[in-house]
Structure 1
């Protein structure tokens, strides 16, 4: 069967790489699945070249990102992707007003079953390559618009350390449980199914709040609003 692909997306300095590493360390023992992680090729490229790419260099970068993802997905059951073709394509639009990569990037991204969108609540960390904190908000807005308009499934995760990891695990647990159910009880993980049952009990359908911007009832938009009173209207995002 094809690997389940989980994408981590977000503006600069929003914790994508840290969460990708944490998921890659946690999920094998939790699920019993063969788990791979594909790192961000754009960062590797920048560190190797000592600069950010020009507009004409972006296409080769996103193609290499997806080539590496495909290679790992062919030999694993679960792939954690520290960004996908969407991010370089978004930077092309934001930095160079070049939207020519968007259609290709969206098509490549449709192979991912779920995107975890990093919230912008972490402190900014400068590394000599990043554009600066002023770019974080506009890139985040553009990314959210692209995800919504293209209909990509995504869940927003936020918080620091274990809190962010637990939110990510909650988001992908239903997909992982589906894989393990198909593979039979020999591969089932008590920890995984306990998490799923606990998640469902905490989010009963009759009281579940739904955000207009994503499918996560615990996203940052929900945290900024009070839950509706019984029989009342849903709060606006």
Structure 2
């Protein structure tokens, strides 16, 4: 695997916020990092794709997926060096791969699949779609929120990854997340 796609190993408890767009991942990742006085990793794809859209009015293409994965992993590795005990990731390569399979029919990429198999995370919080939809230049499936949630949920089930679905407002999600984190 390319060096840029390798995850730095650490003893941190790494938790991924996982789920469809506009489901509260960023807000929760930031709140958890504040609660535990540690780092959180923003979603690299958002910045990357917004810049692409601003420059050319183009959206994500299959050729963007490896640069997005590399950027996400680079941000995660950098944050892991500064984190204390926990690292909260507002997405990971599995999220990128899940979106790729939704948007690009029959999508396959050995490098991304290898990342998913080799990268290690302690736990996943699947964010439910009971948060208000916030439209922007990149979000495009407001009518398909339940279908998208099901795709993300099924991805975690199929990969046999440990997760809890978080529902409610930010305070409720934070409370539930903290109760799970105590057990990790």
State which drifts further: 137-146 or 85-94. 137-146
The reply to whether residue 146 of structure 1 matches residue 144 of structure 2 is no
Residue 94 of structure 1: which of 102, 109, 116 is its match? 102
The reply to whether residue 39 of structure 1 matches residue 24 of structure 2 is no
Residue 135 of structure 1 aligns to a residue whose secondary structure is helix
The reply to whether residue 65 of structure 1 matches residue 59 of structure 2 is no
- Identify if the C-alpha distance between structure 1 residues 168 and 103 changes in structure 2 by more than 3 Å, giving closer, same or farther: same
The reply to whether residue 127 of structure 1 matches residue 141 of structure 2 is no
Report if the CA contact (8 A) 1:126-1:132 is conserved: no
Per-residue CA deviations over 1:184-234 (Å, capped at 9, x if unaligned) read xxxxxxxxxxxxxxxxxxxxxxxxxxxxxxxxxxxxxxxxxxxxxxxxxxx
- Identify if the C-alpha distance between structure 1 residues 137 and 60 changes in structure 2 by more than 3 Å, giving closer, same or farther: same
The reply to whether residue 172 of structure 1 matches residue 178 of structure 2 is no
- TM-score, reference length from structure 2: 0.84
Residue 113 of structure 1: which of 103, 106, 122 is its match? 122
Structure 1 segments, 4+ long, off by >2 Å, are 74-77, 99-106, 134-139
Choose between structure 1 and 2 for higher RCO, CA contacts under 8 A separated by at least 6 residues. Answer: 2
- Identify if the C-alpha distance between structure 1 residues 72 and 14 changes in structure 2 by more than 3 Å, giving closer, same or farther: same
Residue 116 of structure 2 aligns to a residue whose secondary structure is helix
Map 1:79-90 to 2 at 5 A. Answer: 79-90=87-98
Per-residue CA deviations over 1:75-127 (Å, capped at 9, x if unaligned) read 3231110011111111110011213366234225x411000000111121112
CA RMSD, 1 decimal: 1.7
- Identify if the C-alpha distance between structure 1 residues 105 and 142 changes in structure 2 by more than 3 Å, giving closer, same or farther: farther
Residue 74 of structure 1 aligns to a residue whose secondary structure is helix
Report if the CA contact (8 A) 1:69-1:81 is conserved: yes
Structure 2 segments unaligned to the other structure (5+ residues): 1-9
The reply to whether residue 20 of structure 1 matches residue 23 of structure 2 is no
Report if the CA contact (8 A) 2:50-2:137 is conserved: no
Question: How many residues are treated as equivalent by the alignment?
Answer: 168
- 1:99 & 1:173 partners in 2: Cα distance? 37
- TM-score, reference length from structure 1: 0.66
Report if the CA contact (8 A) 1:36-1:80 is conserved: yes
